[in-house]
Amino acid sequence: MRSKLFRRRFLQRKFTSSFKLNPKLTRNRIARLLSGIVGLFTAISILPLVSVMSFIFIRGYDKLSLKLLTELPPAAGFDGGGIGNAIMGTITITTIASMLSIPIGVGGGIYIAELIKEGFFTEMIKFGSRVLSGIPSIIYGICIYETVVATRLFFDKSYGAVAGGICLGLIMIPSVFQTTYSASRAVPSEYREIAIGLGGSESATIKNIVLPTALKKITTGITLAISRAAGETAPLVFTALFSPFWPEGLFNPIATMSVLIYNFSSAPYKSQNDLAWAASFVLMMLILVANLFARWIVYLLNRPISPK
């Protein structure tokens, strides 16, 4: 009995020792070298992001105050003022764009992924979404300018928040659609088969199985699309224009943070340049908060309910 136990321990020790890393082997040296190269290029790829965020933080953080968030921009050459109207305008236009793009993008992605067979129609839709996502945003701005602004489509009004929201919504739709489609297709087919085998209908399977499973990826895609829309400038120049005053309705020119940054960064006055840096910092923080809020919502929805 002791000899068998000793033999088993000896074989186990010999078996595990054969899997220990030997740094002197050529293949292990090459693996460590390649791992170091990958780490170096990863750091190089992240460096621009870190440097840009650090520079914006240094130039914009010291100008952060309550007046900055609640007051109007000053006249040219005057100090003080804030970006309160631009913050309200950005939130307004982004909300309009989200209300337009999220139902269409999520609904279209679920429909193509779950409710229709693969074929020419689905391939055409997927190809069209990829093409639309690659079109420069200024093209969307020109199209909305010609169809909505120049024709005074809404109540004989031209520039306004609605035109800007429609433009940003069209920019967001392809991204939301592709993310929803990919997230839905990534759900294992076994989940659907089990749900249908237990008597669930197709709509109930999508509602209770597919969407909760793919919710994290869908929410991430929506958040990234909103972040991109909040930072667009060229389309809003053609659609929402700019206003130095508080928003005066959805069908009048409205200020946005991206256009304010564009206008004030090239102004010849230091006070306006400082506001541009402060607005850049605030916009970056708003996008960060939106990402964290989306993650928090996903966590609450996926959190298991503990029994009482």
pLDDT digits (tens, 9 = 90+) for 248-285: 888 888 988 989 988 888 888 888 888 888 888 998 88
pLDDT in the model for residue 207: 81
pLDDT in the model for residue 93: 92
CATH of region 85-257 = 1.10.3720.10
Mean pLDDT over residues 243-247, rounded?
A: 86
pLDDT in the model for residue 191: 79
Taken as a whole, the chain contains a residue count of 308
Residue 168: name the closest of 90, 243, 106 by CA.
90
Q: How confident is the model at residue 307 (pLDDT cuts 50, 70, 90)?
A: very low
Determine the Cα–Cα distance for residues 114 and 301; give it in Å rounded to an integer: 22
Determine the Cα–Cα distance for residues 184 and 161; give it in Å rounded to an integer: 33
Determine the Cα–Cα distance for residues 89 and 256; give it in Å rounded to an integer: 5
Helices (H), 62-136: 66-70, 84-114, 120-134
Share of the chain above pLDDT 90, in %: 12
Which residue type sits at 136?
P
Quick one: tokens of 24?
């002197």
DSSP 233: -
pLDDT in the model for residue 18: 53
Mean pLDDT over residues 66-87, rounded?
A: 83
Determine the Cα–Cα distance for residues 259 and 1; give it in Å rounded to an integer: 83
Higher pLDDT, 148 or 2: 148
pLDDT in the model for residue 304: 56
Determine the Cα–Cα distance for residues 95 and 75; give it in Å rounded to an integer: 29
pLDDT at 156 over 60: yes
Q: How confident is the model at residue 308 (pLDDT cuts 50, 70, 90)?
A: very low
Tell me the whole-structure pTM to 2 decimals.
0.80
Mean pLDDT over residues 96-109, rounded?
A: 91
Higher pLDDT, 189 or 45: 45
pLDDT in the model for residue 123: 87
Contact 239, 145 (CB under 8 A): yes
pLDDT digits (tens, 9 = 90+) for 6-44: 556 655 555 555 556 677 777 778 888 888 899 999 999
Q: Transcribe 86-102 into DSSP letters.
A: HHHHHHHHHHHHHHHHH
Q: What SS3 state is found at 215?
A: helix
Domain extent listing, the chain:
85-257
